Amino acid sequence: MMLSPYFDIILRSVAVYFFMTIALRVFGKKELSQLNTADIILILLISNSVQNAMVGPDTSLSGGLIAALALFIINYIIKKLTHKYKGLNNLLLDKPEILIHNGIIDFKTLSKLDISHEELKEAAREHGLEHLTDIKLAMLEVDGTISVISDDKKNIKETHFKRKHNHKNLQK
């Protein structure tokens, strides 16, 4: 029957999707915001390594398109389900983390997320603030960016601070 090989591709693609979702959840949002050359190479190699797991021996155009379609559909379904069911959303997606509240730094959260004091000061400067005590709220967002809100209504500056790898990690 002609449907069976395509059904196999769909099942394989969905399995790989869930594996990659779990793997990214385990490694966390911080890693996604810090992509460097080695990380991009890793992503490319992972995509190449799981390709055969998805399509098996079928290297035809239709096999590849079926696998891609299955990934788009499962991604769409997961997005709809995470919006509808809070428990699934909490399981699969990270939440924003408060780093500073009313000028008070949460050192425990900074340590847990491996964010240095210097990195936090850099984010403040990117947002036009000289002192961390001027920050009303600083958060590590789910996409790995640090957003900053200050009390200073006159000098509001919109920026998009993107975290980088810690300098000590690059020196190893």
β-sheet bridge partners, residue 139: 98, 147
Between 169 and 27, the higher pLDDT residue: 27
Residue pair 162/33 in contact by the 8 Å Cβ criterion: yes
Verify that 23 and 72 share a domain, yes or no. yes
Tell me the pLDDT tens digit for each residue of 70-95. 889 988 898 888 888 888 777 777 78
Verify that 75 and 132 share a domain, yes or no. no
pLDDT exceeds 70 at position 28: no
Length of the chain, please? 172
Inside any domain, residue 52:
yes
Verify that 36 and 78 share a domain, yes or no. yes
Tell me the pLDDT tens digit for each residue of 121-166. 888 888 888 888 888 889 888 777 888 888 765 555 555 555 554 4
Verify that 66 and 129 share a domain, yes or no. no
Cβ neighbours around 41 below 10 Å, total: 10
Mean pLDDT, range 29-53, rounded to an integer: 68
pTM, rounded to two decimals: 0.54
Show which of 45, 65, 91 is a domain's final residue.
Answer: 91
Cβ neighbours around 13 below 10 Å, total: 23
User: 77 lies in which domain range?
Assistant: 5-91
Q: Amino acid identity, residue 166?
A: N
Inside any domain, residue 162:
no
